[in-house]
C-alpha cells in the first residue's frame, strides 16, 4: 500500500471526504489501526495520561515520547505518523522548536510533528516547516495550557471565534499542513474549516471538520470514569480485559489452567 502523504489529506478535503485519526503509542495499536485504514496516527503527548500515568500532559518529556514514536513508526506500512511536541520542548523559541522536531524525526522516525498554539507560534511552525518537517497545529482547548485556560473548557465562544480563525490562518500561512481544533463550538469550527485550504481535525469541534480524532483508550473504553462529551465509546475494552484477567486468576486458583493441551511432556 502507498504511504499516506500530506498532499493526500489536502486532496481528501478538496473532495469533501472526511477522514479518521487516532492516537497510538505502541506496536499492536499502530499495526491494527494502520491495517484498519486509519490514514493518520498521532503519538500524542496524551501518552502522559494514557501510558505514563501522569494526571496532566505537562510532565511528559521528549525522552519519554521518543521510544513510543519509534515503536509506532516502525509498526505502520501506510499511515502518516505525527508526533506531539511536549510541553516545554518548543515554546522557548523557534530554534528550540526546530531542534525538538529534528529529534522526533531522527530518533523517533516520525513523519510530522504537532504543537499547540495559535498565531504566537507561527514563527515556530515556520522554522520547522522551512527545515522540511510537516507541522500540524492545535488550537482551541490546548491541554498544555490548561492551568492558564482555567481547566477543561470550550474555547472560541462568541468573539473568541474570530481569534480562533485568525490563529488558524496564521498557522496555515506559516506552512502548517493541518490544524487540530479541540473543544470549540461546531459553528466556529465549521467557519475555520471553510476558510482554510488545509484540513482541520476536530476533537469536540462538531461534524463539519475535515477529519475527526479521538484518543484510542477513550473510544475503546479502556480509560474508565466519566469521559468528556465529545468521546464516543465504540467498545468496552476495560470490561473485556477485566473479565479475561479474572477468569485467568480464577482458573489458576482452581488448577483449571493449564489444561492438558497447554502442557509439554
Q: Is 45 in the site for ligand KIV (CB under 6 A)?
A: yes
Burial (Cβ within 10 Å: 0-12, 13-18, ≥19) of residue 207: exposed
User: 44, 86, 140, 185: which one contacts Na ion (CB under 5 A)?
Assistant: 44
Contact 187, 204 (CB under 8 A): no
Q: Which of 180, 188, 198, 219 binds ligand KIV (CB under 6 A)?
A: 180
Binding residue per annotation — 45? Answer: yes
**Does residue number 204 form part of the binding site for ligand KIV (CB under 6 A)?**
no
**In this chain, which stretch among 4-12, 40-48, 95-103, 232-240 interacts with ligand KIV, using CB under 6 A?**
40-48
Please, which of residues 81-110 interact with Na ion by CB under 5 A?
84
* 181's grid cell: 481544533
Q: Which of 4, 29, 39, 46 binds ligand KIV (CB under 6 A)?
A: 46
Cβ closer to Na ion: 44 or 202? 44
Select 51 or 95, whichever has its Cβ closest to ligand KIV. Answer: 51
Among 12-20, 41-49, 68-76, 147-155, the segment contacting ligand KIV (CB under 6 A)? 41-49
Q: Which of the residues 166, 182, 246, 254 is marked catalytic?
A: 182
Give the pairing of strands 40-43 and 80-84.
parallel
**116 labelled ligand-binding:** yes
Residue among 34 and 182 whose Cβ is closer to ligand KIV: 182
Fill in the DSSP letter of residue 132.
Answer: T
* CA proximity to 76, closest of 17, 7, 129, 22: 22
CB-CB neighbours of 123 under 10 Å: 15
* Stretch 68-87 residues interacting with ligand KIV (CB under 6 A): 84
Q: Establish whether 182 is a catalytic residue.
A: yes
- Tell the residue number behind the cell numbers 506500512, with chain if given: 77
Ranges within 107-166 binding ligand KIV (CB under 6 A)? 138
Binding of residue 203 to ligand KIV (CB under 6 A):
yes
| CA–CA distances in Å: residue 66 to residues 50, 147, 199 | 15, 25, 26
How many residues are recorded in the chain? 265
Which residues, listed in sequence order, are joined to residue 41 by a DSSP beta bridge? 22, 81
Residue 212 φ/ψ, nearest 5 degrees: -130, 135
195 is in an annotated binding site: no
| Residue 210 among known ligand-binding residues | no
Q: Does 45 bind Na ion (CB under 5 A)?
A: yes
**CA pair distance 149, 141, nearest whole angstrom:** 8
Q: Is 256 annotated as a binding residue?
A: no
23 makes contact with ligand KIV (CB under 6 A): yes
Phi, psi of 153, rounded to the nearest 5 degrees: -135, 150
The answer to whether residues 19 and 12 touch, using CB atoms and an 8 Å cutoff, is yes
Q: Which residues are catalytic?
A: 182
Annotated binding site for Mg(2+): 45, 84, 116
Contact residues for ligand KIV (CB under 6 A)? Answer: 23, 42, 44-46, 84, 138, 180, 203, 213, 215
Contact residues for Na ion (CB under 5 A)? Answer: 44-45, 84
Amino acid at each position: 500500500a502507498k504511504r499516506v502523504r500530506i498532499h493526500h489529506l489536502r486532496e481528501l478535503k478538496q473532495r469533501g471526504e472526511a477522514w479518521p485519526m487516532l492516537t497510538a503509542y505502541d506496536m499492536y495499536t499502530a499495526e491494527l489501526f494502520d491495517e484498519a485504514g486509519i490514514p493518520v496516527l498521532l503519538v500524542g503527548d496524551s501518552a502522559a495520561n494514557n501510558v505514563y500515568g501522569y494526571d496532566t500532559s505537562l510532565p511528559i518529556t521528549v525522552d519519554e515520547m521518543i521510544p513510543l514514536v519509534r515503536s509506532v513508526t516502525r509498526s505502520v506500512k501506510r499511515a502518516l505518523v505525527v508526533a506531539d511536541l511536549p510541553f516545554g520542548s518548543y515554546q522557548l523559541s523557534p530554534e528550540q522548536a526546530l531542534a525538538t522536531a529534528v529529534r522526533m524525526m531522527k530518533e523517533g522516525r516520525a513523519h510530522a510533528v504537532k504543537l499547540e498554539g495559535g498565531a504566537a507560534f507561527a514563527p515556530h511552525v515556520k522554522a520547522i516547516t522551512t527545515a522540511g518537517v510537516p507541522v500540524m497545529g492545535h488550537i482551541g482547548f490546548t491541554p498544555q495550557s490548561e492551568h492558564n485556560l482555567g481547566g477543561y473548557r470550550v474555547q472560541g465562544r462568541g468573539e473568541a471565534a474570530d481569534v480562533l480563525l485568525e490563529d488558524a490562518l496564521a498557522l496555515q500561512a506559516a506552512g502548517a499542513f493541518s490544524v487540530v481544533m479541540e473543544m470549540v463550538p461546531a459553528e466556529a469550527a465549521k467557519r475555520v474549516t471553510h476558510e482554510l485550504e488545509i484540513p482541520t481535525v476536530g476533537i469536540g469541534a462538531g461534524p463539519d471538520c475535515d477529519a475527526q480524532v479521538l484518543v484510542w483508550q477513550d473510544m475503546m473504553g479502556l480509560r474508565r470514569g466519566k469521559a468528556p462529551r465529545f468521546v464516543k465509546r465504540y467498545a468496552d475494552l476495560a470490561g473485556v480485559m477485566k473479565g479475561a484477567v479474572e477468569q485467568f486468576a480464577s482458573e489458576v486458583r482452581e488448577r483449571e489452567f493449564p489444561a492438558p493441551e497447554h502442557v509439554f511432556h
